[in-house]
């Protein structure tokens, strides 16, 4: 999940919020100001309800950030890179670059977040009676954060992959079965089942309490979709294991010289029915030019401006060699939102890796994997 707004970095981890966080913040602040705090403290003024509601909502999301940092710092301690933490409508997610190498690593990373939330919750509830006689607003915030964090622990420990409880379950299954794939498959199926259970309960409740019912349906939909996607992502990683760029790349395409005009470039794009060209000078790759680059040049300058004025130069390119790990290059392509990567030896262009080629490769691997699974299920010697 990409952040809509980046807030900064902690220990090299990008911290951001998704636009749906604003919806969650507004709904939570409203429910606290209009429902929870008036019930707990009926003598407050409306302004105090709203200000404490907003502060409590912000601090709850700060607690969610601390929860995700718990996962992330343990992952870093286990040698696993964490790309970013994003807060969104259902809480937060830490995007970890690689799968844990051992079941014990998975267990430690998964349980770290709930432990952080548990500590925050206990501290909030223990300090509330001490603070409340001195300052009711501060006591109210601690009271709410204590209960909210313990509820966060209870929810996250539901054994629905990829919630923390589901990841703990996966770690246990992984250790018992000796296979991350079998452990993930079982945990994800349980997660999908729990997601559909939430949806069913939400539909039933919608006739009595519409808001709560709709919220449960949304959570259930999120859980079953997240479980399916998490398992698919793991399969993609498996299909990429040991695959290098050289096995997927296409031969080097027709290239264009940097001193060609934009008019000549447009003619070549149309003639070869392509969106981009490598730019080669004296046998050396010097850049890439795309149809998007053309759109940035005024039409009346096409006859005079050259390709070198538009191209992305070598210094800013993502390039690969035939021996580069395919998954590493694909991650860079997704992160930078680029559709093609030149494959080089030195500065000599020898191939061209595109998203379409990678998708075609994945389709073939998925089809072959399905056939292999079907053969194992049909074989009288197949193992469970």
Question: In whole angstroms, what is the distance from residue 58 CA to residue 288 CA?
Answer: 45
Query: Of 94, 93, 89, 90, whose CA–CA distance to 20 is shortest?
Result: 89
Strand partners, 344: 349
- Sheet hosting strand 250-251, strand order edge to edge: 250-251, 348-354, 340-345
CATH 3.10.580.10 domain span(s) along the chain: 245-360
> If you ran DSSP here, which 8-state letter would residue 34 be given?
I
Question: Residue 158 gets which letter from DSSP?
Answer: S
Give the helix/strand (H/E) hosting 259: none
Cα separation, 267 vs 273, whole angstroms:
10
- 2, 68, 372, 377: the catalytic one is 68
How far is the C-alpha of 147 from the C-alpha of 156, rounded, in Å? Answer: 14
Looking at residue 211, what is its pLDDT?
75
Are 200 and 223 contacting, i.e. CB atoms less than 8 angstroms apart?
no
Task: Please state, in angstroms and as integers, the Cα–Cα distance from residue 33 to each residue in 50, 62, 137, following that order.
Answer: 5, 19, 12
Do residues 168 and 113 make contact, with C-beta atoms less than 8 angstroms apart?
no
Task: Tabulate helix, strand, coil % of the chain (nearest 5).
Answer: 60, 15, 20
DSSP 8-state code for residue 4: S
pLDDT at 263: 93
pLDDT of residue 379: 40
Q: Name the token pair of 99.
A: 């799968």
Q: Are 161 and 167 in contact (CB under 8 A)?
A: yes
pLDDT tens for each residue of 111-161: 999 999 999 999 999 999 999 999 999 999 999 999 999 999 999 999 988
Structure tokens at 320: 């690969």
- Identify the pLDDT of residue 181: 82
Distance CA 376, CA 383 (A): 8
Rounded Cα distance between 129 and 357, Å, is 62
Pair 16, 86: CB distance under 8 Å: yes
pTM of the model: 0.69
d(CA 227, CA 170): 12
Q: Which residues of the chain have pLDDT under 70?
A: 1-3, 369-384
Phi, psi of 297 (to 5 degrees): -100, 130
Q: Indicate the length of the chain as a whole number.
A: 384
Annotated catalytic residue 335: no
How many CB atoms within 10 Å of residue 295?
Answer: 8
pLDDT of the residue at 176: 93
Task: Give dist(CA 193, CA 159) in Å, integer.
Answer: 11
Superfamily of domain 245-360: CBS-domain (3.10.580.10)
Torsion sign, CA atoms 61, 21, 77, 101 = positive
Residue 25: how many CA atoms within 13 Å on its side-chain side? Answer: 18
């Amino acid at each position: 999940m990409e952040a809509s707004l980046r807030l900064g970095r902690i220990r090299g981890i990008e911290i951001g919020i998704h636009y749906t966080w604003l919806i969650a913040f507004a709904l939570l602040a409203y429910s606290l100001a209009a429902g929870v705090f008036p019930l707990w403290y009926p003598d407050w003024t409306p302004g105090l309800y709203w200000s404490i509601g907003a502060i409590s909502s912000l601090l709850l999301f700060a607690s969610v950030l601390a929860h995700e940092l718990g996962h992330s710092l343990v992952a870093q301690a286990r040698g696993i890179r964490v790309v970013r933490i994003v807060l969104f409508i259902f809480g937060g997610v830490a995007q970890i670059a690689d799968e844990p190498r051992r079941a014990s690593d998975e267990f430690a990373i998964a349980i770290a977040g709930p432990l952080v939330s548990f500590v925050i919750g206990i501290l909030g509830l223990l300090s509330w009676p001490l603070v409340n006689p001195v300052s009711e607003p501060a006591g109210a915030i601690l009271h709410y954060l204590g209960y909210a964090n313990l509820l966060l622990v209870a929810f996250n420990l539901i054994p629905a992959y990829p919630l923390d409880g589901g990841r703990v379950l996966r770690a246990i299954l992984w250790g018992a079965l000796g296979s991350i794939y079998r452990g993930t498959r079982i945990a994800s199926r349980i997660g999908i089942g729990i997601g559909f259970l939430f949806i069913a309960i939400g539909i039933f409740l919608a006739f009595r309490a519409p808001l709560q019912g709709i919220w449960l349906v949304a959570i259930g939909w999120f859980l079953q979709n997240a479980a399916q996607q998490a398992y698919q992502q793991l399969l993609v990683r498996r299909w990429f294991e040991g695959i290098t760029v050289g096995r997927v790349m296409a031969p080097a395409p027709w290239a264009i010289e940097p001193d060609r005009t934009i008019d000549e470039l447009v003619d070549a794009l149309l003639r070869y029915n392509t969106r981009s060209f490598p730019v080669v000078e004296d046998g050396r790759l010097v850049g890439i030019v795309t149809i998007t680059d053309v759109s940035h040049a005024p039409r009346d300058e096409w006859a005079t401006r050259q390709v070198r004025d538009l191209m992305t130069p070598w210094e800013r390119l993502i390039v690969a060699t035939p021996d580069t790990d395919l998954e590493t290059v694909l991650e860079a392509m997704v992160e930078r939102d680029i559709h093609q990567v030149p494959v080089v030896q030195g500065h000599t262009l020898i191939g061209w890796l595109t998203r379409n080629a990678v998708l075609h490769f994945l389709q073939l691997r998925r089809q072959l994997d399905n056939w292999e699974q079907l053969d194992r299920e049909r074989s009288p010697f197949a193992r469970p």
